[in-house]
């Protein structure tokens, strides 16, 4: 039986690019249907992430123009990860496979053929992996590579150069729905669900229109979120560091005692100041890391809904 595919597309203030890419997604659905790889009931599902521009109106117009377009709208902007989750959760009961992709045309739509092939030959999760970053600016490229390296150093395992372009089967999504965390870092969580997976390589292009919503500030926030929601390695690191500093202090105390006993004590303002500054700096950093985790616990404990869908382009 041919699977029903839902392409899940988060959109936040994308009025410029949506009219360009939407027909491309539809053409892909048509082409895959004609090739007999997916079923006729396959759909393109847009998730409006509380856009402030005409994005939602455009999605509604698209839905009215062709039954292959569907749209849901979040009650407010909740961020990329929550938008993707909302779309995936909405799709999981209506289809056999989902492919999540950004709406800006950066991810090569043609890689979907290979993804579906991988699914048909047994993979339940297929990661879209960027082959090259030639089109990214030097800054974006190096920061993005640093991002993956740092994540894996800190014990958060992610697929290298894989963002949120991936195929997930409905079967995996039903298991994934049981992961109830509020702190979402999809590319780190999906591998934890398990099941057979594989990768498909593609070239990443430039944004077709509009601007990136991931400046450096948001990338750092995403990295911190990824690390603290997947790994406790930073806590181990600060404990190790604490032991190291304690050892240094012990040596310092010995040294102070010996010099004092030898009667060589002089007014040691510089050394005292340096030690105080260093140790208080280290303590503040460690407190900050602890704080990150406590903040995460606080958010998890409240157990607020991860997305709220306010509108759909169809009757439920
Ligand atoms: N996005 C979203 N909510 C947000 C920010 C972004 O749904 O708060 C969507 C956006 O519309 C796009 C995708 O997430 O489809 C990736 O964003 P963007 O292209 O700006 O990031 P970049 O590709 O530069 O990392
Ligand atoms: Mg983009």
- Note residues around ion ligand 2 (Cβ under 5 angstroms): 102, 104, 106
CA of 41 to the centre of ligand 1 (A): 27
Position 266 scores a pLDDT of 66
Which ligand 1 atom sits closest to the C-alpha of 11?
11
Which ligand 1 atom sits closest to the C-alpha of 213?
20
Any domain includes 227: no
The count of domains in the chain is 2
Q: Ligand 1: residues within 6 Å at CB?
A: 10-12, 14, 49, 77, 79-80, 83, 102-104, 106, 212-214
Position 97 scores a pLDDT of 95
Q: Ligand 1 pocket test: pick from 78, 80, 223 the residue with the most ligand atoms within 8 Å of its Cβ.
A: 80
CA of 26 to the centre of ligand 2 (A): 19
Among protein residues, the one whose CA lies closest to atom 23 of ligand 1: 212
pLDDT tens string 212-267 = 777 778 778 888 888 888 888 888 888 888 888 888 888 888 888 888 787 766 66
Distance between CA atoms of 285 and 112, rounded to whole angstroms?
44
Among protein residues, the one whose CA lies closest to atom 11 of ligand 1: 11
Please tell me which residue, 277 or 194, carries the higher pLDDT value: 194
Confidence of residue 134 (pLDDT cuts 50, 70, 90): low
CA of 80 to the centre of ligand 1 (A): 6
Any domain includes 247: yes
Q: What residues make up the domain containing 298?
A: 233-302
25-29, 114-118, 260-264: least confident range: 260-264
Percent helix, strand, coil in the chain (nearest 5)?
Answer: 50, 15, 35
Long-range CB contacts for residues 210-216, cutoff 8 Å, separation at least 24: 210/13, 210/14, 210/15, 210/16, 210/17, 210/104, 213/12, 213/13, 213/80, 216/143
Any domain includes 128: yes
Position 267 scores a pLDDT of 65
Residue where the block lists tokens 């990860």: 81
CA of 81 to the centre of ligand 1 (A): 9
Q: Taking CA 265 as the corner, what is the angle to CA 261 and CA 267, rounded to the nearest 5 degrees?
A: 155
pLDDT tens string 165-189 = 999 999 999 999 998 888 888 888 8
pTM over 0.85, yes/no: no
Q: Based on the domain organization, do 56 and 94 belong to the same domain?
A: yes
Any domain includes 223: no
Q: Based on the domain organization, do 192 and 248 belong to the same domain?
A: no
**Eight-state DSSP code of residue 121:** T
Query: Residue 45 sits in a domain of what CATH number?
Result: 3.90.550.10
Among protein residues, the one whose CA lies closest to atom 2 of ligand 1: 80
Mean pLDDT for the stretch of residues 22-28:
94
Q: Shortest CA distance to 59 belongs to which of 110, 9, 109? A: 9
44-53, 97-106, 193-202, 233-242: least confident range: 233-242
Q: Based on the domain organization, do 155 and 81 belong to the same domain?
A: yes
């Amino acid at each position: 039986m041919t699977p029903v595919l839902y392409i899940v597309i988060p959109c936040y203030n994308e009025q410029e690019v949506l009219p360009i890419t939407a027909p491309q997604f539809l053409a892909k659905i048509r082409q895959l249907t004609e090739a007999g790889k997916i079923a006729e009931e396959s759909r393109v599902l847009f998730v409006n992430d509380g856009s402030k521009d005409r994005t939602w109106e455009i999605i509604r117009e698209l839905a009215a123009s062709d039954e292959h377009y569907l749209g849901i709208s979040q009650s407010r902007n909740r961020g990329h990860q929550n938008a993707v989750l909302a779309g995936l959760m909405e799709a999981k009961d209506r289809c056999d496979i989902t492919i999540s992709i950004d709406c800006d045309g950066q991810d090569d739509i043609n890689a979907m053929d290979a993804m579906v092939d991988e699914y048909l030959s047994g993979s339940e999760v297929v990661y879209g992996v960027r082959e090259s970053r030639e089109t990214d600016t030097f800054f974006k490229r190096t920061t993005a590579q640093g991002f993956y390296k740092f994540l894996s150093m800190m014990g958060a395992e992610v697929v290298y150069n894989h963002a949120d372009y991936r195929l997930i089967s409905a079967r995996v999504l039903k298991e994934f729905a049981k992961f109830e965390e509020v702190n979402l870092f999809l590319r780190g969580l999906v591998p934890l669900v398990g099941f057979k997976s594989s990768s498909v390589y593609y070239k990443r292009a430039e944004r077709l229109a509009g601007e990136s919503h991931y400046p450096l500030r948001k990338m750092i926030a995403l990295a911190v979120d990824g690390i603290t929601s997947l790994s406790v390695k930073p806590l181990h690191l600060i404990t190790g560091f604490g032991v190291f500093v304690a050892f240094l202090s012990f040596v310092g105390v010995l040294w102070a005692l010996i010099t004092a006993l030898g009667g060589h004590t002089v007014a040691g303002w510089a050394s005292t100041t340096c030690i105080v500054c260093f140790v208080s700096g280290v303590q503040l950093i460690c407190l900050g890391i602890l704080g990150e985790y406590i903040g995460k616990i606080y958010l998890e404990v409240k157990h607020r809904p991860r997305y709220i869908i306010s509108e759909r382009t169809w009757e439920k």
